[in-house]
Amino acid sequence: MVQPAAVIQLLDPHVVNQIAAGEVVDRPASVVKELVENALDAGATRIDVRVEEGGKALIEVADDGWGMGPEDLERAFLSHATSKVTAVEDLTHVGTLGFRGEALASIGSVSRARIVSRTRDAASGHRVDDVEGSVSPVVPAAASPGTVVRVENLFAHVPARRKFLRTPGTEMGHINELMSRFALAFPHVAFRLAQGKRVYLECASDESRLRRIDHVHGADIASQLLPVSDASGEPTLEAYIGPPTLTRRDGRLEQVFLNGRHVRDRTVMHAIREAYRDLVPPGGHRPIAFVFLSCDPALVDVNVHPAKAEVRWRDGSNAHRIVRRALRNALQQAAPGKPIHVDGGHASVERAVAFAFEQGAGRSPSVPFGGSPSSVVAEPSPVFRSERAGEACTHDAATSETQRAEHLRPLAQALGTYLVLETEDAIVLVDQHALHERVLFDQINTRLREKGNLEVQRLLMPLVVDLGAAATAQITEEADLLETLGWIVEPFGEDSVAVQGVPAVLRRPDPEAALRDILDVLQTGRRDGLDRTDLVSATVDSLACRSAVMAGDPLHPDEVMSLLEQAEALDHSHSCPHGRPTRLTLSRGQLERWFHRTV
Ligand code: ADP
Ligand code: MG
């Protein structure tokens, strides 16, 4: 092969902008994001967004901000043209949403864009166009004070990008979500989002934060949220968080804002998770939490991500501590009763139960045992009421729980998941996975407390696992901690490890997945600056879950009895470590009422 003559060329600015556009602008929602941020930076109190075809045909953002005069309009579409940053030092304390001076140039290079603007004290306005990178002269135009940016035919001449756009419905969904986050972040600003005749969002200026949440996510959610605030340090925190019983399958309602910017920040996300630890089940159950943080811009670096969605904290562990503490305390105070332990433990499980009760048991896992959901609503789950009330209030009074246990007779395993048992005057349903997890969680914690490490089960043949180079290196670093957790693992070549021993408690046949889980937990924990105790307890959750019998595992009656006996030895066997109830009791009285045997 012949080496081509070295020809390094400076790229044409137009090409540069198109490349940059890929970073800043990848779909209609990112155009809307940049334009709305500009409007906010210009002091707008009212922002009106109109789109057609999910933004592919048209995006128009109108604001009542301070506008641009003709000289500014001449530069607005130039790259690296910004009024917000002049020196490198400015980057260390960015107080505006934008600062790179790239957005308008990028957008103009991949669409037909027009800005019409009028400053507040000018008698009339001006206009400038950018058609796929060629910028027109600025001309006078009729305008009201403020700015209107119109973006048509996004990516029409950039097929490589156009083809990645989804259906108008999907693109509109992204825009809608984005706008609802802006609405929460800036409750004093009026927002409107419409497509054709359909109005997606309309909120007046100067609403309270909670009123905004109500507006955007509905009263159903807003009415259950707990307000939290902490202004004792930096960042200051204002948050609205859901009770542990109100969870979602995805994290869409777990939102973090820093100085008005929506961020995906691992540190804060982890702190939220920690606050809810053992109150909300892991593995897909996410609490609802809107967390608004403010701090001196100098304490964070926002210039680490093209779309500014990620930030770097000067002192991440401080932010972590503030968020975790404030949320955890609020969850504790919301349910009067026993103290909650920030380090996890049983009291917190009880707390979840008490909390669920306080919040109205109607929201807890539904119980339509054969009944229609409406019949359950009509008679608001008496079963859970009494059961939970008993649980939450009578633990201290040492109920004759063990006496009851002696009379428990296993009848069957139903739906592959629930143990059906009978006592003298009740039917009891037990979630086998949740109960077993509860048992293991306690056994593991007791062992750690008493012996300082977990028992190891040596393997006859080492198990070689290909983990990749990064994880293999991590194993070497974490060897000591892993040993505490019952793992004997050694590097085996560059990207594999040899597992010589596994935690004895780990009875499930998939040590590889369990090891990956632990590494994952350790990695996240390390990044978030957890100390050793916290790291260990973070892994206990995952170990207990991995080791427990799963829903769907067949159980021998002897195993059922042994599980129940172990459970009875615990104080808190009524809920799994994550606060899910483990059992449901249907008393004779309740059954009689249900079947109208009594009047
Ligand atoms: P950046 O926001 O990073 O400065 P942009 O390309 O988004 O870069 O905008 C360039 C400049 O145009 C901004 O710095 C601002 O001075 C001006 N500008 C953009 N949009 C508006 C608007 N809606 N109102 C007033 N000025 C604006
Ligand atoms: Mg901008």
Task: Tell me which residue has its CA closest to atom 7 in ligand 1.
Answer: 103
The candidate with the shortest Cα–Cα distance to 436, out of 535, 247, 249, 580, is 580
Burial (Cβ within 10 Å: 0-12, 13-18, ≥19) of residue 486:
buried
**What mean pLDDT is predicted for residues 514-529?**
82
Q: Supply the residue whose CA is at minimum distance from atom 25 of ligand 1.
A: 67
Give Cα 517 to chain centroid, integer Å: 19
Q: Give residues whose Cβ lies within 5 Å of ion ligand 2.
A: 38, 98, 103
Considering only residues 274 and 553, tell me which one the structure prediction assigns the higher pLDDT: 274
Of 381-395, 413-427, 472-486, 508-522, which range is least confident?
381-395
> Which pLDDT value is given to residue 371?
27
Q: In 3D, which of 308, 321, 205, 190 has the Cα closest to residue 259?
A: 308
Residue that the structure tokens 């008493």 belong to:
450
For ligand 2, the distance from its centroid to the CA atom of residue 82, given in whole angstroms, is 8
Residues with CB under 6 A from ligand 1: 34, 38-39, 42, 63, 65, 67-68, 76, 81-84, 98-105, 147
Q: Which among 82, 100, 115 is the best mutation to test ligand 1's pocket, defined by most ligand atoms within 8 Å of the CB?
A: 82
pLDDT in tens, 56-70: 999 999 999 999 999
For the CA of 37, the closest atom of ligand 1 is: 2
Q: What is the 3-state secondary structure (H, E, C) of 524-566?
A: HHHHCCCCHHHHHHHHHHHHHHHHCCCCCCCCCHHHHHHHHHH
Q: Which of 269-273, 359-363, 446-450 has the highest mean pLDDT?
A: 269-273
**Does the structure show a pLDDT above 60 at 571?**
no
> Rounded to whole angstroms, how far apart are CA atoms 251 and 290?
11
Q: Nearest bound ligand to CA 100?
A: 1
Evaluate if residue 34 carries a pLDDT over 90. Answer: yes
Decide: 279 and 332 in contact? Cβ < 8 Å: no
Sheet arrangement for strand 289-294: 226-230, 236-241, 289-294, 254-258, 261-263
201-251 per-position pLDDT tens digit? 999 998 999 999 998 989 889 999 999 999 999 999 999 999 887 888 778
pLDDT of 388 > 70? The answer is no
All residues at 6 or more sequence positions from 23 whose CB lies less than 8 Å from its CB, including other chains: 102, 106, 306, 307
Across 348-377, average pLDDT = 28
User: Could you read off the pLDDT of 68-124 as tens digits, one per residue?
Assistant: 999 999 999 987 777 776 666 665 666 677 776 788 999 999 999 999 999 999 999
Mean pLDDT (the chain) is: 78
Q: What is the pLDDT of residues 424-474, one digit of tens each?
A: 888 988 888 788 877 888 888 888 888 888 888 888 777 888 888 887 888
Amino acid found at 460: L
Look at the block and give the residue holding tokens 């809107």: 290
Least-confidence region, from 392-406, 502-516, 540-554, 559-573: 392-406
Nearest to 422 by CA among 411, 437, 406: 411
Is residue 420 classed as helix, strand or coil in its secondary structure? strand
Read off the DSSP letter of residue 439: H
How far is the C-alpha of 508 from the C-alpha of 435, rounded, in Å? Answer: 16
- Please report, rounded to a whole number, the percentage of residues in the chain having pLDDT higher than 90: 34
- Say whether pLDDT at 17 is over 60: yes
What angle is formed at CA 517 by the lines to CA 516 and CA 518, rounded to 5 degrees?
Answer: 90
pLDDT in tens, 160-210: 888 888 899 999 999 999 999 999 999 999 999 999 999 999 999 989 999
Tell me how long the chain is: 599
Q: Which of 33, 35, 36, 38 to mutate to test the pocket of ligand 1 (most atoms within 8 A of CB)?
A: 38
**Helix then strand then coil, % of the chain, to nearest 5:** 40, 20, 35
Give the model's pLDDT for residue 389. 28
Ligand 1 centroid vs 416 CA: distance in angstroms?
Answer: 60
Burial 391-407 (b: 16+ CB within 10 A, else e): bbeebeeeeeeeeebee
- Tell me: pLDDT of 308 over 80: no
Which pLDDT score, from 0 to 100, does residue 59 have? 98
User: Whole-angstrom Cα distance, residue 352 to residue 349?
Assistant: 5
Per-residue b/e over 234-252, b at no fewer than 16 CB within 10 Å? Answer: ebebbbbbbbbbbbeeebe
pLDDT of residue 16: 66
The alpha carbon of 215 and the centre of ligand 2 are apart by a number of angstroms equal to 27
Tell whether the model's pLDDT for residue 478 goes beyond 90: no
Q: Does the pLDDT of residue 48 top 90, yes or no?
A: yes
Dihedral sign for Cα 304, 307, 310, 312, please: positive
Contact between residue 572 and residue 581 where contact means Cβ atoms under 8 Å apart: no
Please report which confidence band the pLDDT of residue 2 belongs to, taking 50, 70 and 90 as the band edges. Answer: low
> What pLDDT is attached to residue 516?
82
Mutation test of ligand 1: which of 90, 100, 104, 121 has the most ligand atoms closer than 8 Å to its C-beta?
A: 104
Nearest CA to ligand 1 atom 9: 101
Confidence class of residue 496 from pLDDT cuts 50, 70 and 90?
A: confident
**Token pair for residue 87?**
């020196």
Distance CA 117, CA 483 (A): 66
b/e per residue 428-459 (b: at least 16 CB within 10 A): bbbbbbbbbbbbbbbbbbebbeeeeebebeee
pLDDT at 201: 94
The string of pLDDT tens digits covering residues 328-356 is 999 888 754 333 333 333 333 333 333 32
Q: What is the pLDDT of residue 398?
A: 31
